Structure 1
Amino acid sequence: MPPSATTWHCGGPDPVSSDQRVLHTPDPAERENLATFLTHAIRLDPAAVVRMRRRGSSLVSAWVTTGFETLAVRTVTAELGVDDVTVGADSVLAGLGTGHPIDLGYSLDSAWRGALPPTDGFTHLDDVPARTLVELAERGADLAREHGGPHGPPPSLLDQSVLTVTGAEDLEVQVPMRVVFALTAMDFIPHAGEKVESHRIQPSELVRVRATRTWLRLDARYGSVARRLGGGIPLTPS
């Protein structure tokens, strides 16, 4: 997904200084995109925070945690008065409904733990049918119901590698179940009907698998999920 930001109000341009924590998403479709993203994040964690980073003068990437030790991101066309800020997802969601620039208020930077993946340097390994990933999530959900406890799926299930993706020069990466769960929980794959089910996914719909030496990323039509790969070099000869 692809000079200081300027916020445009209904009455004309009103420059926003770079030290103002203001978000403006003038396009209704982009407001809806971001609102949908935040709704899914809050469904996973009612106290979710969103970390927003400015990309150039007209794009903003919104990052959230998913509860699967996997990050999720959606990039929208918007204007942000600061380079990087973390705030409550619920307050941003409420502000999007007004259609006006959102005063983000005090930052919650201390609530964000961990680093974000790099913006570039990823190797494209392969494209995987989205239906295959949803089928894996469905099987995992069945196992979680069978073997899970009051705290959710067992870590052994979440950490299990469910897909091996091999790219050029025989580089490969293991995709754990927790990343697949995060992708489907954020509803990043287009589908017919209200529920994400494998038979509702078009066979031609693909998810792109990318990786660096330390990060795995899955790019779907409506957003991406990323997870840090632990121990050594994740890209290894098959």
Structure 2
Amino acid sequence: MTVLHLADEGEAADLAAFLSRLLHYDRGAAVRLQAAGTALAVFGRPPSFEVLAIRAVRLAKPYENGLDVTLDVTVSAGELLESVDESAATAAVPAAVTGPPWAGVLPPRGGWRAEPGLPEPERLRRLVAASVAEFRSRTERLAPEQRTRAELDRVGREIWSRTVADTGLPVRAVHAAQSLGFLRGDDQTLFSSGAWLRLRTPYGSVAVRRAGVGALGLSVR
């Protein structure tokens, strides 16, 4: 069994919190793990938001049992969470699972450049709060016979597909960052690479395909 030695108890707790949030939105969630040396990237896709969530984890040392260079595997988020030992700062990598389609198409590793126009952090948080309030208000005003799943989805798509200022970043990406615990503090930066936009914070990143941009920049691994 492959054992990951995390840098400290805090890294283990942050990994566990990220996995718990993913499982809140999808009890059968899978995550893709990619690592080299002492850096681990954990990719997940909470279905409510239609974005990729990325949590970077620091490792104290590379892996045991012969995995000397890299790790790249898709596993059950629930099984990985169960294996996290916060006091020992370790996690055992579960058996691989057949990955969902998103796990085969990840954002590129390089070529990212900073994009201007991202509002200040407090404005981003207010934007999410206002959007949640608008969704609640509009859906509560619907007559009972109109409150169908299709209508709720339509209202949600209209609100969450709006873009943040002139950045092209959909509001749902910021909502995802907020819901996953990434949108804390005052250090958020928007990057682009090919067809992708990435909202990066010290606590994690959210990546999304830009509307109207072709397949350039896809990374199939």
1:24 aligns with 2:8: no
Give the TM-score normalised by the residue count of structure 2.
0.77
Amino acid at match of 1:209: L
Match for residue 116 of structure 1 among 88, 102, 106: 106
1:57 aligns with 2:43: no
Q: 1:164 aligns to what? A: 166
Q: Measure how far apart 1:53 and its partner are.
A: 0.3
Q: 2:75 aligns to what? A: 87
Percent identity of paired positions between Structure 1 and Structure 2: 26
Amino acid at match of 1:27: D
Report the Cα distance in structure 2 between the residues aligned to 1:179 and 1:87, rounded to whole angstroms.
24
Q: Which has the higher contact order (CA 8 A, sep 6+)?
A: 2
1:187-225 residue CA offsets vs partner (Å, 9 max, x unmatched): 11226xxxxxxxxxxxxx131011122000001121110
Match for residue 41 of structure 1 among 3, 7, 22: 22
1:66 aligns with 2:46: yes
Query: More strand per residue: 1 or 2?
Result: 1
**Aligned to 1:163, what secondary structure does the other structure show?**
coil
Q: Measure how far apart 1:104 and its partner are.
A: 2.6
Match for residue 137 of structure 1 among 128, 135, 159: 128
Distance 1:221 1:102, change over 3 A: closer
1:71-108 residue CA offsets vs partner (Å, 9 max, x unmatched): 11111112454521111111111111363754433211
CA contact (8 A) 1:60 1:77 kept: yes
Amino acid at match of 1:221: P
Q: Measure how far apart 1:47 and its partner are.
A: 1.6
1:90-140 residue CA offsets vs partner (Å, 9 max, x unmatched): 111111136375443321143352511011101101354211111110111
Distance 1:84 1:157, change over 3 A: same
| Runs of 5+ consecutive residues of structure 2 not aligned to the other structure | 140-146, 216-221
| Runs of 5+ consecutive residues of structure 1 not aligned to the other structure | 1-19, 166-173, 192-204
Q: Measure how far apart 1:163 and its partner are.
A: 2.2
Report the Cα distance in structure 2 between the residues aligned to 1:100 and 1:232, rounded to whole angstroms.
41
Report the Cα distance in structure 2 between the residues aligned to 1:53 and 1:35, rounded to whole angstroms.
17
Q: Measure how far apart 1:24 and its partner are.
A: 3.0
Query: More helix per residue: 1 or 2?
Result: 2
CA contact (8 A) 2:76 2:94 kept: no
1:185 aligns with 2:179: yes
Q: 2:219 aligns to what? A: none
CA contact (8 A) 1:124 1:211 kept: yes
CA contact (8 A) 1:30 1:77 kept: yes
Deviates more, 1:57-66 or 1:141-150: 141-150
1:106 aligns with 2:100: no
